[in-house]
Amino acid sequence: MLDFFSSINLATFDLNDSNIHELDSKTILVKKWNWDYSLAHKFQRQTIELLNHAPQVRVVICCSHPRVFTHGRGLQKPKKGETLELVDFNPLLKETLPFPFYQIERGGGLTFHHPGQMIIYPILRLNPKTLSLSKMIDTLFEVAIDVLKDWGLHGLDHENKLLGLWCGEKKLASMGVAIEKLTTFHGMALNFYQDEVMKTELIKLNPCGLDAKIYTSVEELMNIETKTLEDFSELYLRRLSHAWK
């Protein structure tokens, strides 16, 4: 299955064979920390094209990015009878941002990335009988909850009227997905380490329409002196593979 990418030049995307692994018999893992956002985005697009010829393959990208802002198709819309007090991003602020800004296809408003995040981009063909969009999103969150619970962090949930992974009133992870021809891309960004530089910039903005003070990280919620982002990602990916079997 690792020959799935044999028709493309990995170096074009700043990748090589060491970044490509078999997660399970159906799933290819692409893993790269601090990956240039534009290259990662182009790679997602390329992967979608490859899946047109091998729809049975699932690709999971696990990565982080240098500091960057992205903006999706728009803020979450309230359900009937709900009120969501969200603040939309002012496009006039784009010119004042200190880090690159990308307008992209996923759902959601303005969000942020930095090297202290773990990002999961699942690129796979949805099937209403075996893996619906809602089930995929729930699984991405629930695997993170399970790993962090084993580490001693409790009180996490994703059953909130605002999409995300929450610890009480604090938001730990964001979700923004795009779908083309039943194939998903983009995904989840979980804040593992805090980033003081990004935090300072977010105070001037409203990521996902929210007050920046709402955002937190694993590092802020628990003692992780003996744990690393790599440790978390390894456990997360192993459990994700089992969850999708």
CA distances from 107 to 35, 103, 184, 203, 222 (A): 22, 11, 12, 22, 30
**Which residues have a Cβ under 8 Å from the Cβ of 223 and sit 6 or more positions away?**
none
- Is 167 a known active-site residue? no
**Out of 62, 63, 167, 208, which one is annotated catalytic?**
208
- Contact indicator for 30, 59 with CB cutoff of 8 Å: yes
Q: Which two tokens stand for residue 124?
A: 């796979």
CA dist 213 and 171 (Å) reads 9
Q: Which two tokens stand for residue 203?
A: 């105070």
By annotation, the residues acting in catalysis are: 208
